[in-house]
A = this chain, B = another copy of it.
Amino acid sequence: MKQPSARQAERISQRREREEQNLFSRLPAAYAASRLQGQRVLQRAGGLSIVEWRVLWDLYEAGPMTIRDLAEIQRTDHSQLSRALPAMQKKQFVTMTRDSADGRQIVVALTETGRRAYETTAPTMKLRREALKAEFSPEEIATFVNLLDRFENFLRRPIDTFLERDSVE
């Protein structure tokens, strides 16, 4: 009663191949791999978390800014920063000061300690970006980013634009 296993194995492998062509199922795996590699490299470079690294980098490059600005640059939810920043403040990486002109905003700025943490980590992260450049030409990167742009655009469309129950009736 074990004969179907060969045919079954064949169907499973066909399924795997089909999934390989499916954008929706490829993206999570690629993202997970990217995050994991990022975490590992950061671990090696001194122990920052991904969120911490992004904050330090942005502040280093662009100077003090509000939580909202940070969230927008990083294309992430502000809640993630709301949660991470107090710990970074405790580690003396950043200062958080309420804006005197607009009492709702909190301006985050790099401290000397934060600057040093950035400078310790940055060379390793640069190695990683350079390794990527060795694999992909500038044109390929541009194509990739453009496809991601368009895909993301599609993903952010209200779902009714393609589910349209009315038009089916």
Contact = CB atoms under 8 A, between A and B. Distances in A.
A84 interface: no
Contacts of A75: 19, 25-26, 28-29
A158 B31 CA distance: 16
Contact of A37 (B8, B32, B159): B159
A63 B8 contact: yes
B34 A73 contact: no
25 contacts: A8-B64, A11-B61, A12-B73, A14-B62, A16-B72, A18-B61, A19-B75, A20-B145, A21-B141, A21-B145, A23-B145, A23-B148, A26-B75, A28-B76, A29-B152, A32-B76, A37-B159, A41-B163, A44-B163, A127-B163, A128-B159, A135-B150, A136-B147, A143-B147, A144-B151
A58 B132 CA distance: 33
Interface string A106-144: 000000000000000000100111111001100011111
Nearest to A168: B127
Nearest to A144: B147
A49 interface: no
A128 to B, nearest CB: 6
A14 B63 CA distance: 11
A50 B105 CA distance: 36
B37 A74 contact: no
B33 A31 contact: no
B155 A37 contact: yes
A30 interface: yes
A161 B37 CA distance: 12
Contacts of A101: 2
